Amino acid sequence: MFSEEPWNIFDLINGVVHRAYQGYCVFIGDMGTGSRTFLGVAVIAIIVIGVFMYMNRPEPVIQTQDNTTDQDDTTNTTGPIDTITNQTDIKPTNTTTQEPENLTDENPVIETDDGEEGLPWSDVDDYLYILQEIDLEEIGETEFDLVILDYSLEGDDESRFTFKEITSLKNSTGGKLVLAYMSIGEAETYRWYWKRKWDRNGDGKPDSDAPSWLGPSNPEWPENYKVRYWEPEWKMVVYDYLDRVVEAGFDGVYLDIIDAYEYWGPWGESGLNRTTAERDMVEFVLEIAEYAREASNNTGFGVFPQNGEALSNHPDYLDTVTGIGKEDTWYDGDDRQPGNYTEETITHLDRFRDEGRLVLVIDYPEGPERIRDFYLRALEQGYVPYVSNRDLDVVNMVEGFMPD
């Protein structure tokens, strides 16, 4: 057994030299004293050198894989390498379910005519508009360039679409741009911000507990209530809404009830006769655009007002929006619009078109001939047409005008 007592190099050398001296004495016998001394010194020197070299030998090198250099070009090097116990089982961190911090990385980016960075909105030549009965898988199988839909499956916060779902839709057949529908001129009772105490008996008239910005309900859409959109508290609601849209990865917003300024303005149904109502709406849309583009870190974040085409008279409005959506340009249902109405509408829409803005038009005729007439008239004007029902709950494709 080996002794467990501590030892040092000098004890080792002393023991080895002692044993060596005994051995050499046996072999050299009666050599002369001088010879024995010289041989002894030589043996001791050799032993000492050997022990010294052994104690200072280099550590063995163990070959390991370098996690930071000389990796194969196909290896994902954007994420950290997992902690491992087996050198042969190195795998990159799975990043497929992680959401990018910069939402704009998921979007194609181009230089627009005015030198600003943005999405290729000018490439859009067909679109889908659907707010109910939304089936993302069905929509993804179509070849529409642009899709307008609600931010939520059921309109509430619990069923809102996730970043993964919207990204999957954007990357579906042919690639798609996706806009989130938002009403900024009316409040909706099925949204997360609505409080039942604002109209307990549901008579369409705000109760005393309602916020000052809330107006009466829309007779045609009883779940929608007019809002004083210029009040800061309502604007905060809209900014919260925008945060949800940006978080989900939408490419832009489709703003409804822009023409609310007609209701609140001079000679409007409200009786308020607010002289600044029109300019208030312009300022609100500009603020929404600024907020959304900063929040998304994307100067090309799309802003599309629906209706209110007369705001084309405001140059800063034209400069800010990405495009416009317009309902009922040629037809009100199956009835033709008055000629002077259509003519005036086209005059305003042409201003958007001439400024390089995308013009989306939607009418709601049912007769095949009227549908065809609408498409041909819209295309002749350089607009992008779509036909659906008023409930906007179907994916509609018209023979001869199929998305490509």
Q: Is residue 316 part of a domain?
A: yes
pLDDT > 80? residue 246: yes
Same domain flag for 132 and 233: yes
**Which residues have C-beta within 8 Å of that of residue 200, sequence separation ≥ 6?**
207
Residue with the two structure tokens 């023409």 = 259
pLDDT > 90? residue 6: no
Residue with the two structure tokens 């050997």 = 50
Q: How many domains does the chain have?
A: 2
Same domain flag for 144 and 47: no
Given pLDDT bands bounded at 50, 70 and 90, which one contains residue 120?
A: confident
Q: Is residue 306 part of a domain?
A: yes
Same domain flag for 238 and 130: yes
Q: Is residue 181 part of a domain?
A: yes
Same domain flag for 22 and 131: no
pLDDT > 60? residue 51: no
- Residues 68-107 have pLDDT tens digits of 333 333 333 333 323 323 333 332 333 333 344 444 344 4
Q: Is residue 398 part of a domain?
A: no
According to the model, what pLDDT value does residue 332 have? 98
45, two tokens = 């020197």
pLDDT > 50? residue 404: yes
Rounded mean pLDDT of 275-304?
98
Same domain flag for 171 and 256: yes
Burial 68-101 (b: 16+ CB within 10 A, else e): eeeeeeeeeeeeebeeeeeeeeeeeeeeeeeeee
Same domain flag for 50 and 130: no
Strands (E) located in 54-123: 110-111, 117-118
Q: Is residue 63 part of a domain?
A: no
**Which residues have C-beta within 8 Å of that of residue 280, sequence separation ≥ 6?**
229, 230, 261, 274
Q: Is residue 399 part of a domain?
A: no
Same domain flag for 26 and 135: no
According to the model, what pLDDT value does residue 70 have? 37
Query: What is the sign, positive or negative, of the torsion defined by CA atoms of 111, 179, 403, 398?
Result: negative
Residue with the two structure tokens 């939304």 = 134
Rounded mean pLDDT of 282-288?
98
Please state, for a pLDDT cut of 90, what percent of the chain lies above it. 70
- The CATH code of the domain that includes 373 is 3.20.20.70
Same domain flag for 310 and 173: yes
Q: Is residue 20 part of a domain?
A: yes
Same domain flag for 41 and 138: no
Same domain flag for 132 and 35: no
Whole-number Cα distances in Å, 142 to 126, 137, 221, 397: 11, 9, 30, 9
- pTM > 0.85: no
Same domain flag for 50 and 176: no
Same domain flag for 290 and 173: yes
Mean pLDDT of the chain: 81
Residue 47's domain comprises: 9-55
- Residues 132-170 have pLDDT tens digits of 999 999 999 999 999 999 999 999 999 999 999 999 999
Of 268 and 46, the structure prediction assigns the larger pLDDT to: 268
Given pLDDT bands bounded at 50, 70 and 90, which one contains residue 400?
A: very high
Q: Is residue 129 part of a domain?
A: yes
- What is the Cα–Cα distance from 48 to 34, expressed in whole angstroms? 21
- Residues 329-384 have pLDDT tens digits of 999 999 999 999 999 999 999 999 999 999 999 999 999 999 999 999 999 999 99
- What is the Cα–Cα distance from 245 to 178, expressed in whole angstroms? 11
